[in-house]
């Protein structure tokens, strides 16, 4: 059995909503069930597992079927769109109709790695935005070093009519304004706790709490004091604490607001 740090939530009875995790990742193979079964007792109410390729979409479906509190997003990360074709796009569309699929994602543009031709990335970003519109599902947007092209493509697609989260928001306040003014949510993760995370701290200070959601992107981007180690939803309280500090509100205010935001966007409530 692999040991991992457990965080005791003694700050209140409110439950956290994890909007972006990758529990399909091999980093969790050694203790996945143990970890996931511990989440509720540690204050994590819901998790949305985000697919990024066809194999992760399959694994996300398996997690959705196995765990009542796990929902999923179906989509292909821009780095993996080089493997896209019409046949597997039809497959993705079919899987996105699963009753526990709550979003299309993660989709978008990534010019940092540039592992897929940019025209190919753009083609499938547009197609997946169309899919979100057709299925009436919000989007989980990945945008790295592609600020202008991302916003222009979203304007062209009238993405504000669909809605969604700008995952792992990595731009400054001016870019944040463009998304916030269109009603999008910003996904805030472990980077906000980093000493060199000044830009994101400024965004959190500026953005209304009504448009922020919590995410880990686990197993990546662990918050301080676990930076560099495997991340999990158990570390979300550190992100909550930093947001509360920046916005000068109490811990439970952040938990309640971000949870309500996520449930509203993903259309998840106790009845579902």
pLDDT digits (tens, 9 = 90+) for 215-265: 999 999 999 999 999 999 999 999 999 999 999 999 999 999 999 999 999
Task: Specify the pLDDT at position 5.
Answer: 44
Q: From residue 209, how far is each of 246, 255, 266 by CA, in Å? A: 11, 10, 17
Residue reference for tokens 């209140």: 12
CATH code (residue 76): 3.20.20.140
Q: Is 232 within the bounds of a domain?
A: yes
Q: Is 7 within the bounds of a domain?
A: no
> How many domains, the chain?
1
Q: Is 74 within the bounds of a domain?
A: yes
User: For 15-64, what is each residue's pLDDT tens digit?
Assistant: 999 999 999 999 999 999 999 999 999 999 999 999 999 999 999 999 99
According to the 3-state scheme, what is the secondary structure of the chain? CCCCCCCCCCCCCCCEEEEEECCCCHHHCCCHHHHHHHCHHHCEEEEEEECCCHHHHHHHHHHHHHCCCEEEEECCCHHHHHHCCHHHHHHHHHHCCCCCEEEEEEEEEECCCCCCCHHHHHHHHHHHHHHHHHHCCCEEEEEECCHHHHHHHHHHCCHHHCCEEECCCCCCHHHHHHHHCCCCEEEECHHHHCCCCHHHHHHHHHCCHHHEEECCCECCCCCCCCCCCCCCHHHHHHHHHHHHHHHCCCHHHHHHHHHHHHHHHHCCCCCC
Q: Is 4 within the bounds of a domain?
A: no
Q: Is 23 within the bounds of a domain?
A: yes
Give 89's pLDDT tier (boundaries 50, 70, 90).
very high
Task: Specify the pLDDT at position 74.
Answer: 98
Q: Is 192 within the bounds of a domain?
A: yes
Q: Is 261 within the bounds of a domain?
A: yes
Give 13's pLDDT tier (boundaries 50, 70, 90).
confident
pLDDT at 8 over 70: no
Starting at the edge strand found earlier in the chain, the sheet holding 16-21 runs: 16-21, 44-50, 70-74, 101-110, 139-144, 164-166, 185-188, 212-214
Range of the domain at 136: 16-266
Q: Is 1 within the bounds of a domain?
A: no
Residue reference for tokens 């400054």: 172
Q: If you average pLDDT over residues 145-159, what whole number do you get?
A: 97
Q: How far apart are CA 165 and CA 21, in angstroms?
A: 13
Q: How far apart are CA 160 and CA 37, in angstroms?
A: 36
Q: What's the distance, CA 208 to chain centroid?
A: 18
């Amino acid at each position: 059995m692999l040991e991992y740090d457990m965080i005791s939530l003694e700050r209140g009875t409110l439950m956290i909503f994890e909007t972006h995790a990758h529990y399909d990742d091999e980093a969790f193979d050694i203790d996945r069930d143990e970890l996931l079964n511990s989440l509720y007792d540690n204050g994590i109410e819901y998790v949305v597992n985000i697919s990024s390729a066809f194999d992760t979409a399959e694994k996300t479906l398996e997690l959705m079927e196995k765990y009542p509190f796990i929902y999923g997003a179906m989509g292909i990360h821009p780095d993996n769109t080089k493997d896209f074709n019409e046949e597997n796009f039809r497959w993705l569309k079919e899987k996105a109709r699963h009753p526990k699929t709550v979003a299309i994602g993660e989709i978008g543009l990534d010019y940092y790695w540039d592992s897929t031709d940019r025209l190919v990335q753009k083609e499938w970003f547009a197609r997946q935005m169309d899919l979100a519109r057709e299925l009436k599902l919000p989007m989980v947007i990945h945008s790295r070093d592609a600020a202008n092209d991302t916003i222009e493509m979203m304007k062209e697609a009238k993405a504000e009519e669909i809605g969604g989260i700008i995952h792992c928001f990595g731009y400054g306040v001016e870019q944040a304004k463009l998304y916030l003014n269109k009603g999008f949510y910003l996904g805030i993760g472990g980077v906000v706790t980093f000493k060199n995370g000044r830009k994101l701290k400024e965004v959190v200070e500026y953005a209304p709490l009504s448009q922020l959601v919590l995410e880990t992107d686990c197993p990546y981007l662990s918050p301080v004091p676990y930076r560099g180690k495997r991340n999990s939803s158990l570390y979300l309280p550190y992100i909550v604490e930093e947001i509360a500090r920046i916005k000068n509100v109490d811990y439970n205010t952040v938990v309640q607001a971000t949870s309500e935001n996520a449930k509203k966007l993903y259309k998840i409530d106790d009845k579902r």
